[in-house]
Structures are given as structure tokens and as C-alpha cells.
Chains A and B, each alone.
Chain A
Amino acid sequence: MSRRVYLDHNASTPVHPEVLAEMLPYFSEAFGNPSSVHAFGRDARAGVDTARERVARFLRVAADEIVFTSGGTESDNFGVKGLALARGRGHLITSKIEHHAVLRTCEWLESQGFAVTYLNVDELGMVDSDEVRRAIRPDTIGISIMHANSEVGTIQPLAAIGAIARERGVPFHVDAVQTFGKIDIDVTAANVSALSFSGHKIYGPKGVAGLWVRKGTRLVSVQHGGEHERRRRAGTENVPGIVGLGKAVEVRARDMHDEARRVTALRDRLWEGIRGSVPDVRLNGHPTERLPGTVSVSYRGVESESVVLGLDLKGIGVSAGSACTSGSVEPSYVLRAMGVPLEWAMGAVRHSLGRSTSAEDIDYVVAAVTPIVRKLRAALPVSAA
């Protein structure tokens, strides 16, 4: 195996060297509990405070509106459950292509007596803001729509949805785990009430994330205990992680615009390369309103895990859009919601590019995938019959 190419940045990213350097002292020197009054604790507290300010500056919000959590899943649980349980009963609006952290939370809330509307998306993976408006009922207590989808990268019309939320006085939670630190987020213009973000998608460590909650938004805690995070999220802070998240955000603020331009060009080079050398392919997601580094490609008639395995053997890391597990195949629920036909959905492969991706990497992937798909199709009953 000569070359290794990582194209799975939507799953996770390597910790940036500047981030790691900033974190290290908090494991061994400033290791105190931030709640302790002594100097050891104060040193740790200072690290957490700095991180909070960095995140706040990036989002252009107040530092005391940031709550650190253990991951994007916890942030989504906190955002959606927190809004719903603070109101006791009522109706929520979300979409069919949300992350499971939101979908499963909504399903649980249904079991607790809440009503939920799961909005359809169009063939490009876009939520229609008019559908949001039509779904609102007198008892609607919250809207939760992701900023961009992790599988296909389509970016949702947050400003239009937020305007409706404002007009109808409904709190608006946004899962921004895939966009935070990659593209601009304007929580004021989009009238967002709460926003989930994560560290390990932006070259920070795993196990740390956050929820921004607009001042005045009623939200109950889902984790109880001590008085951490202004009584919003109990538990001793993950100090090195939070420090790392703060540094990652600072680095992203510096690098993200240049990188988005560069990665977008590589993204388009990848799709053009695949389209030019492999017949019967399609791009999933919006052609332009899409995350800079995300390319979901469907190979008709081919099973995506075979492509992933073939690429893995060439040192390339991508992810399958369908998962074949014992007893059932799951063509991605996102692609199904977009109405992608089964024979295409089964052959979906997601490539997500990042800061280390080079033009040579892209050309290597294009050259590698072409014979893999040809070989898979050669043994295929459907096309040969």
C-alpha cells in the first residue's frame, strides 16, 4: 500500500497540531478541577474560560450562552429535549434527514406524549421553508433543522426557516455539527435559539462539543448533578477537550475561508473526475448549496460496501451510503427521503475532503475507483443480463 488518502472528514478529523499543543498542559500541569478554589483549579478554569470566549467570538454571541457537552449527540439531545421538556407538551417540527441524535430524540419525545412532524425534503435534500410554515400548529413548541446534512452535504435555508420561527414565536434549534467551523453561521440573521456544534469535525478532539443557547430561551437540563455550566449541564468539565475545542475554533476562524475555497475546488475536481471516467454515476445532494468538502456519488447497480472495500485496499478511506448488516440492508434513510431510486441508493459512496486533501489525492482516488467499479459491474447479473 503506497499511498493513504483520508476522505472521511465528515466522520472525524485528525487533531490539528496547534490544538494538540494547546491541550497537552491541561492533562498534566493545569489538571485541577475547574470548580476548585485553589490555584490548580483556577488554572483549569482559566483554560475553560478562554475556550468559551473563543467559541463565543466565533459565533458572535455572549460567552455565558455557551454550554460545553460531551459530543454532538448530547448537544442535540440537550437542544431538542431541553426545549420540549421545558414546555411540557406540544408539537415539534423536524426533517426526515436529521442526524439520528435528533430523530431518535424526537421519537422518544413522541413516546412521552409530544407530537412530531417529520418534514420531507426535495430530491436535492433541501427542506422547503414553506413546508415549515404549513407544519406549524397552535401548539408547536420547537423546530429543529440541521444546517447541513452529513451524507450529502446539502445546506438548508436557515434564514428562511428562522424568519418563520421568529414570525410565529417558535424556538429554533439547529444541528450545526457539520457546518460549524466550515462555513459561516449567523445565528442572529437566522433567528436561531439553540445551536449544536462539535469539536472532532473541525480538527479538535473527540468527546467535546457544545450547545449555544440564546439568552432568554427556556431550556431544561437533561443531565443533573453539580452546578457546572451555569447549572445547565452537570459534570466536571472535560478541561483538555474544551481547551482543544476552543483552540480548534480559533484556528478555523483563521483558516476556514481560504480552506473552503480550496476544498470546494477539489470537491468539484473529484466529481468531474469520477463523472468523466466511470459511466452510470450520479451526484447526490445539491450541486452548489453544499458543504465545501462533501461529494456523495452513486454508482448504479453496484453495492457501495464493495466500492468502500475496494478503495480501502488501495489505502483510501471513504464511507458507504448504504450499510449491509446481518439480516437487513439499509440504503441510507437520507437518500431514501430524497427519493433516490433504490438501485442508485444502494451504490452511494461518500467522500468528505479536508485540510490535508491534495489534488494528487483526488486524482489517485479517481484512478483507483474506475477499475474497481468496472470489475464489480463485470460480475453483476443486472447489467450483464
Chain B
Amino acid sequence: MRYSPALLEHFLNPRNAGLMREPDGVGADEYEGCGDLARFFLRVRDGRVSEVRFQTYGCGPTIAAASAASERVTGRSLEALLDLKPQEVEDAVDGLPEDRKHAADVVAGALRAAALDALRRQVGGPS
């Protein structure tokens, strides 16, 4: 099989897929080469991610990576999330084929953007 069992499991049963009402942070990233995109919504409590929701458009690995990453980063501080590396997202689905590495890039990029948005909103005053 081209994809790991973990990836296929997340693809078939994505966790945390869908919209979030009144999120504390929103971020998106797109892989221009193939139009894959991911958007993450964060709920933040005491500087940490308490809830994650995502929406994606892309091939199976992108959906799976978004699902796996959403579980992985729950509970993490926003500052730590700013440092999220694609490799960690890839590890969360037990690896990606060479021609699907961009799935991890898009997901990590969108989560970092969401963390940055949440931090800016905190600095920006009451919300």
C-alpha cells in the first residue's frame, strides 16, 4: 500500500473536520502547485490550544495530515505551535510518499498561521 495504515485511518475517519463558530484564531495555507489548501480554527484557553477544527481541499494525504495534526497540537501553547514543522505533521501520519510531502507543508503552514492570528488577537485587545 502506498499510504500508511495511520494515514488511511485518518482519511477514512477524519477527526475535528468542519467549521468552528467564533474561533480565537484562524489560519490557512495553500500549496500553489496543486491547489491543495487547509484552514484551521483554534479555540484558546490560557495561552494553549483547547480545541481545533479544520477544513481542507486536497488529495487524501492532505485530509489525513490535517486530521492527525489537529489531534497532535491540541493542548500545545500558541508559542510552541508557531514552531510547528512539517516533519512533525508527517510523523503524525507515519510518513508521506515523496510526491505528497506538500500535504505536511500545507497543514503545518495553516496551523502556524492560525497560531499567529490567535496571538495577534490577544495582543490586539479584548475579544
Which residues on A are within 8 Å of B, measured CB to CB? 301, 303, 305-306, 309-310, 313, 324-329, 346, 375-376, 378-382, 384
Contact = CB atoms under 8 A, between A and B. Distances in A.
Interface in B32-70: 33-37, 39, 54-60, 63, 66
The 3 closest A-B pairs by CB, nearest first: A329-B34, A379-B17, A326-B99
Nearest to B28: A381
Nearest to B12: A313
B55 A381 contact: yes
Contact of A378 (B8, B17, B98, B101): B17
A376 B18 CA distance: 10
Given A326-B101, A346-B35, A375 B14 contact: yes
Interface of A is mostly: mixed
Contacts of B12: 310, 313
Contacts of B14: 375, 379
A325 B56 CA distance: 18
Contact of A306 (B28, B33, B60, B98): B60
Given A301-B57, A303-B58, A305-B60, A381 B37 contact: yes
Contacts of B112: none
A326 B33 CA distance: 8
Given A325-B99, A326-B102, A379 B55 contact: yes
Contacts of A301: 57
Interface of B is mostly: mixed
- Interface range, B side: 20 to 34
B36 A324 contact: yes
Given A325-B34, A328-B34, 15 more contacts: A303-B36, A306-B63, A309-B59, A310-B12, A313-B8, A325-B99, A328-B33, A329-B34, A329-B35, A346-B35, A379-B17, A379-B66, A380-B55, A381-B28, A381-B39
A380 B33 contact: no
A329 B57 CA distance: 13
Contact of B57 (A313, A325, A381): A381
B3 to A, nearest CB: 8
A376 B37 contact: no
B60 A329 contact: no
Contacts of A380: 55-57
20 contacts: A303-B36, A303-B57, A303-B59, A305-B59, A305-B60, A309-B59, A309-B60, A310-B12, A324-B36, A326-B33, A326-B99, A328-B33, A375-B14, A376-B63, A378-B17, A379-B14, A379-B18, A380-B56, A381-B57, A384-B55
